[in-house]
């Protein structure tokens, strides 16, 4: 029997909590032996909720004081490179949340350091482990809808992102922090890289939310052309208020495929015929992708146990970052941008 993989969870915020819950409650082969977060109150709350004994305010301290096999990094994007470097240099296997990094140089450095130290790297593209997305990808790959001609992928999230994640000076904004998954999904399901993108953005709720960050947007549509000749669309709305919406549609030469639904639970009620039938909507990403989070962490743990390369690689993470950079450049310069301008 394989031994359990000891994990140091780096980041105790929303994503850190989500991953801690998945591992603690539903992935017996993983064991969280340490929790790292500079913010004490957040750290305490997460540690208490999931019974994690060892807490540290830095990864350095955790590395000194406790033994573990792998890190799960869920901290803000600007920290991804230094935390990965530190982990890799200590021989720890790395699970790294999306977006991989702020730019392609950082992506390259991340890939270089994990290669050099011979550790594994998995990017947190959990949709690649969602049973519906996986089934869809297999069926497209199997030719069921023919050559993909057009894809539409959306991520609309209910709440306003934190300040650092909506400011182009500290992150790459919504296209990166919310829509990273879409950049990965469209490439995956189309089986082709994007070649050219054009982006329109809008800012509807910023003023009411007292957001005065330059270039803030809460609505985005990215139109794209793939190397295959296919067309793509990414749409983002955040905060959208109405729920968490991650549906995808693919049109192939032979037919249409729709992935996902807005319906969050099959309990449908009508108590007023003037109001209508009411169905719970998907409210949050932990709800929508509950199995996907369990399966991506199972996968990472199994890869560590069996020393095999994980799916959702650094290359996938790097392409998503390239898309984000092209998409952002497009709306700033009000013109279509070629990926070759970015991938220099």
Please give the residues from 45 up to 104 whose contact with its own copies meets the rule CB under 8 A: 51
214 near its own copies (CB under 8 A): no
Site for its own copies in 146-165 (CB under 8 A): 146-147, 149-150, 152, 156, 158
Rounded to 10 deg, the angle between the 314-333 and 104-117 helix axes is 170
237 near its own copies (CB under 8 A): yes
Q: Among 6-14, 112-120, 142-150, 319-327, which window interacts with its own copies (CB under 8 A)?
A: 142-150
Q: Which of residues 41, 210, 214, 275 is near its own copies by CB under 8 A?
A: 275
223 near its own copies (CB under 8 A): yes
Count residues near its own copies (CB under 8 A): 84
DSSP for residue 92? -
139 near its own copies (CB under 8 A): yes
Give per-residue burial for 250-262: e unless 16+ CB within 10 Å, then b. Answer: bbbeeeebebbeb
Instruction: Count other Cβ atoms within 10 Å, centred on residue 144.
Output: 13
Q: Are strands 5-10 and 70-73 parallel, antiparallel or unpaired?
A: parallel
Q: Which of residues 231, 305, 311, 329 is near its own copies by CB under 8 A?
A: 231
Q: How far apart are CA 68 and CA 25, in angstroms?
A: 19
Whether the CB-CB separation of 140 and 148 falls below 8 Å is answered with yes
In whole angstroms, how close is the CB of 98 to its own copies at the nearest point?
A: 22
207 near its own copies (CB under 8 A): no
Q: List, in sequence order, the alpha helices (H) in 35-145.
A: 40-50, 59-65, 80-89, 104-117, 131-141
Residue closer to its own copies by CB (options 265, 315) is 265
Q: How far apart are CA 184 and CA 339, in angstroms?
A: 15
Q: Among 40-48, 177-185, 254-262, 301-309, which window interacts with its own copies (CB under 8 A)?
A: 254-262
Residue closer to its own copies by CB (options 64, 200) is 200
Q: Which of residues 99, 230, 317, 323 is near its own copies by CB under 8 A?
A: 230
- Which residue, 117, 79, 151, 125, is CA-closest to 317? 125
Q: Which of residues 212, 276, 306, 307 is near its own copies by CB under 8 A?
A: 276
Residue closer to its own copies by CB (options 169, 208) is 208
281 near its own copies (CB under 8 A): yes
- Which residue, 76, 101, 98, 73, is CA-closest to 87? 73
280 near its own copies (CB under 8 A): yes
211 near its own copies (CB under 8 A): no
In whole angstroms, how close is the CB of 244 to its own copies at the nearest point?
A: 8
Site for its own copies in 171-200 (CB under 8 A): 196, 198, 200
210 near its own copies (CB under 8 A): no
Q: Which of residues 67, 210, 269, 307 is near its own copies by CB under 8 A?
A: 269
Place of tokens 């590395």: 63
Q: How far apart are CA 38 and CA 49, in angstroms?
A: 18
315 near its own copies (CB under 8 A): no
Q: How far apart are CA 48 and CA 90, in angstroms?
A: 27
Q: Which of residues 38, 82, 163, 229 is near its own copies by CB under 8 A?
A: 229
DSSP for residue 38? S
Q: How far apart are CA 187 and CA 164, in angstroms?
A: 27
Q: How far apart are CA 166 and CA 148, in angstroms?
A: 32
């Amino acid at each position: 029997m394989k031994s359990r993989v000891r994990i140091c969870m780096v980041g105790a915020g929303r994503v850190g909590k989500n991953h801690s819950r998945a591992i603690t409650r539903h992935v017996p082969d993983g064991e969280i032996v340490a929790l790292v977060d500079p913010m004490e109150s957040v750290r305490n709350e997460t540690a208490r909720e999931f019974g994690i004994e060892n807490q540290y305010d830095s990864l350095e301290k955790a590395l000194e004081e406790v033994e573990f096999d792998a890190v799960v990094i869920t901290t803000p994007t600007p920290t991804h490179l230094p935390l990965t470097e530190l982990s890799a240099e200590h021989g720890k296997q790395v699970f790294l949340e999306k977006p991989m990094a702020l730019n392609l140089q950082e992506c390259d450095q991340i890939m270089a350091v994990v290669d050099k130290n011979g550790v594994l790297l998995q990017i947190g593209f959990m949709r690649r482990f969602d049973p519906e997305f996986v089934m869809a990808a297999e069926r497209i790959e199997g030719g069921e809808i023919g050559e993909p001609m057009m894809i539409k992928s959306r991520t609309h999230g209910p709440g306003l992102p934190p300040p650092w994640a909506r400011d182009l000076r500290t992150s790459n904004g919504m296209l990166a922090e919310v829509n990273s998954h879409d950049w990965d999904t469209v490439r995956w399901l189309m089986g082709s890289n994007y070649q050219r993108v054009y982006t329109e953005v809008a800012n509807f709720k910023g003023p009411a939310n007292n957001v005065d960050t330059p270039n803030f947007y809460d609505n985005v549509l990215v139109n794209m052309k793939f190397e295959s000749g296919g067309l793509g669309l990414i749409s983002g709305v955040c905060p959208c208020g109405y729920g968490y919406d991650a549906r995808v549609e693919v049109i192939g030469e032979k037919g249409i495929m729709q992935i996902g639904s807005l319906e969050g639970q099959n309990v449908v009620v009508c108590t007023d015929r003037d109001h209508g039938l009411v169905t719970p909507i998907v409210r949050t990403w932990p709800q929508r992708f509950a199995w996907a989070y369990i399966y991506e962490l199972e996968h990472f743990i199994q890869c560590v146990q069996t020393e095999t390369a994980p799916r959702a690689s650094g290359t996938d993470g790097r392409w998503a970052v390239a898309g984000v950079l092209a998409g952002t450049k497009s709306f700033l310069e009000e013109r279509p941008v070629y990926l070759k301008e970015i991938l220099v």
